[in-house]
């Protein structure tokens, strides 16, 4: 959902600015777009960490094959913590950016762009905090939004594989082992995409931090555009990758799309199709969750022994 927000709001603003050299929504977009982009990095980072912890608990559970399905309230609480924490850590971005104008010496046209410069109207204590954040922004990006999810995911995967290797002799269900392996591959795929898409941004941040006095404004704008392109690419690829790797989620998504396209018709064919799709979703969901479905009780014999 946050990737959708990035593509729906930030992408049109960036494209409009590159075409017209005018900032859509003015100073508001200069503050909201960086805030949403950094919040997107935080949501992805902490989500990968939460998924790594979940896989670690699944591997170290004493009864992993019969582990209970997590309650919906618990999942919503974790998502709320991830979202609120990510947006809280991104609040300095709102105070750091502001709109600026520049007149071209050749054509004389006025171009608008966003500059990283705290407003002098801020209170002194807040101004000093924003300056501290600006000075440490590069290493904060690199440590929290790049190293943390990758190291966390790699560590959890290594520990999980070590524990799974020591438990090969135990009797564990084939479906459960396939489910665990499939979920681990999904998390690894998401981490690889995230690492590949955030590497250019961190490299550009380091280059700009140490070589910005010797670089022209056009070069800095180009590097910033490259960073945003990879962010939009990540936001586009991540949902598709998640739907492809996580088959039950992808099947549920396709069933919802087919249901919306066909509409609700009272014919027998549609009712049979919906029943079949519901049965497929229920069967596929047993592969996704850790708790296997219980077999129905055997039918009681009726009649006399004769």
The pLDDT of 229-244, averaged and rounded, is 85
Give the residue with greater pLDDT, 141 vs 249.
Answer: 141
Distance CA 18, CA 26 (A): 14
Is residue 289 predicted with pLDDT exceeding 50?
A: no
Is residue 264 predicted with pLDDT exceeding 70?
A: no
Alpha carbon 216 to chain centroid, angstroms:
33
Is 183 within 8 Å of 224 (Cβ atoms)?
no
Is 177 within 8 Å of 163 (Cβ atoms)?
no
List the one residue out of 35, 234, 3 whose CA is nearest residue 133: 35
β-partners of residue 101 are: 112
Domain over 1-61+69-166+175-260 is classified CATH 1.20.1560.10? no
List the one residue out of 191, 182, 188, 180 whose CA is nearest residue 59: 180
In the chain, DSSP assigns E strands to 97-103, 110-116
Is residue 168 predicted with pLDDT exceeding 70?
A: no
Domain ranges within the chain, ordered by starting residue: 1-61+69-166+175-260
Is residue 306 predicted with pLDDT exceeding 60?
A: no
Is 133 within 8 Å of 25 (Cβ atoms)?
no
Q: What is the pLDDT of residue 83?
A: 92
Of 83-92, 135-144, 178-187, 275-284, least confident by mean pLDDT is 275-284
Q: What is the pLDDT of residue 82?
A: 92
């Amino acid at each position: 959902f946050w990737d959708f927000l990035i593509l729906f709001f930030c992408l049109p603003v960036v494209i409009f600015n590159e075409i017209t050299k005018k900032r859509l929504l003015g100073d508001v977009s200069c503050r909201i777009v960086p805030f949403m982009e950094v919040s997107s990095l935080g949501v992805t980072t902490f989500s990968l960490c939460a998924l790594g912890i979940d896989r670690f608990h699944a591997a170290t559970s004493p009864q992993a094959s019969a582990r209970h399905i997590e309650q919906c309230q618990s999942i919503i609480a974790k998502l709320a913590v991830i979202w609120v924490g990510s947006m809280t850590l991104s609040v300095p971005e709102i105070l750091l950016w502001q709109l600026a104008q520049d007149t071209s010496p050749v054509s004389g046209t006025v171009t608008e762009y966003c500059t990283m410069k705290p407003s002098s109207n801020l209170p002194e204590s807040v101004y000093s905090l924003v300056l501290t954040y600006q000075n440490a922004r590069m290493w904060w990006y690199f440590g929290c939004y790049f190293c943390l999810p990758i190291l966390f995911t790699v560590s959890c995967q290594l520990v999980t594989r070590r524990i799974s290797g020591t438990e090969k002799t135990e009797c564990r269900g084939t479906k459960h082992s396939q489910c665990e392996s499939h979920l681990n591959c999904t998390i690894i795929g998401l981490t690889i995409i995230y690492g590949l898409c955030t590497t250019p941004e961190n490299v550009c941040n380091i280059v700009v931090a140490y070589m910005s006095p010797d670089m022209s404004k056009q070069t800095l704008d180009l590097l910033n555009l490259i960073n945003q392109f990879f962010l939009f690419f990540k936001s586009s690829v991540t949902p598709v990758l998640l739907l492809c790797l996580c088959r039950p989620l992808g099947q549920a998504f396709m069933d919802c799309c087919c249901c919306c396209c066909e509409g609700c018709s009272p014919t027998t064919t549609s009712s049979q199709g919906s029943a079949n799709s519901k049965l497929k979703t229920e069967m596929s969901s047993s592969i996704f969750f850790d708790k296997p479905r219980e077999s129905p009780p055997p039918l009681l014999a009726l009649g006399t022994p004769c």
